[in-house]
Amino acid sequence: MTLEDIERINLRLSDLNLAAKEASVSKIVQRVKREGDKAVLAYTKEFDNYEYEDGFEVELDIDDLPNFNNLEEDLQMSLKRAYDRIERFHQEEVKESKLDYGWSYRGDLGERLGVKYQAIDSVAIYIPGGQAPLVSTVLMTAIPAKVAGVRRIIMLSPPPINAGILAAAELCGVDEVYAIGGAQAIAAAAYGTESIEAVDKIVGPGNIYVSLAKKQVFGTVGIDGIYGPSELAIIADESASAKQVAADLLSQLEHGSGLESTLFLTDSKKLLLETKEELEKQIIAFESKTDEQIATIRSSLEKWSALILTEDLAEAVDIVNQYAPEHLELHTKDPNALVDEIKSAGAIFIGANSCESLGDYIAGPSHCLPTAGSTRFSSGLQACDFVTKTSLIDFSTVDNSTVEFRDLIEDVARIARAEGLEGHARAMEARD
């Protein structure tokens, strides 16, 4: 596989006629900005074929958890266990990254320089519904926001909201829930309407219209990123199980957009052939899938995926670094030996037991990860994404009559005048 092949896969969204979709999204966003609730109601009727009886806010009782308690007891237990593990991960992040109190040091003149972290005031989490209502995404977005200290968390999800999504919102203590989907939901959260107070940041996955809307409102609000269909790369040697590898590849291809992408790289020809056979066997055994869903999986496997025989594992790592996948699994005898060589991946799953499904649901880190090669410059959602960082510059205890401070005055004035900014120079010299 060449660099051109990698670029082709990572640019697979270019076939979607984005210009036309961007124009459509812009029309929606601007109308919601102008008309508020009226536009949201109209677009929900048009796109979701849904009319509200009493507005689009959904009341939750996060004290009694009626939706959550209606779930099967086994599912309640699993969601609670997932909640605890995800919360623990982000609590550890806050502690290790000093997000709760920031950091500072004393400079040469005794001045204090550092950073103050402050939780974002309000956040919207977008949760897709449809054929695959992402209950887990509620946990993966709301929990790091709560751990970071966000005061107000609202949830947006297409109507009628799936009962499991509402249950997860109760469990996570989401403050407000609105049965709105698509670009109109993103615009409503960004600009506010008569019924919805605008937020400071919007996070969470969505279809192409949701992603384009997030792109258009960025600047008015913060966003987590512009991400697309799921990706998985697997590096394996002869010690790997073809059955496990095939199952993990298919776990990503089943998302169903037809644009999911997987790469399997191995230095074992035997394993590659066995994996190819196993993929076909497991696709046929997908009894719960419709013919259309099976056809979509096969299309993604053929158009946007590859099984690659490499000369060695070093070559496999090189290809993965070009691909910059959302998820990377390492099925090798010594997987930790490869970790430091990986430059770009949203999440690395180390060893055969660490399948991507663990990360999707219960391991701890958020499953909201960058895609389409953007792991080269962006990272998965964490508690740190829900705080702002304010620089602290404190010379209040410094004696401005000292030679050292006078040297700073001269340095600042010299640099300012080199830029033609006389006012900056004089402001500093006023401290003389």
Question: With the CA atoms of 266, 267, 272 and 274 taken in that order, what torsion angle do they form, in degrees rounded to the nearest 10?
Answer: -110
Active-site choice (93, 111, 231, 327): 327
DSSP state of 410: H
CB-based contact 84:364 (threshold 8 Å)? no
How far is residue 389's CA from residue 104's CA, in Å, rounded to a whole number?
Answer: 12
Sheet containing 327-331: give its strands across. 306-309, 261-266, 231-236, 327-331, 347-350
How far is residue 108's CA from residue 361's CA, in Å, rounded to a whole number?
Answer: 48
Backbone angles phi, psi at 369, to 5 degrees: -130, 155
Residue type, 414: R
Which token pair is 205?
Answer: 């996955």
Burial class, 34, CB count within 10 angstroms (exposed 0-12 / middle 13-18 / buried 19+)? exposed
Cα 284 to Cα 144, 246, 279, 307, distances in angstroms: 39, 12, 9, 19
59 is catalytic: no
Which token pair is 416?
Answer: 């300012």
326 is catalytic: yes
Backbone angles phi, psi at 164, to 5 degrees: -65, -35
Active-site choice (254, 278, 326, 329): 326
Just list the catalytic residues. Answer: 326-327
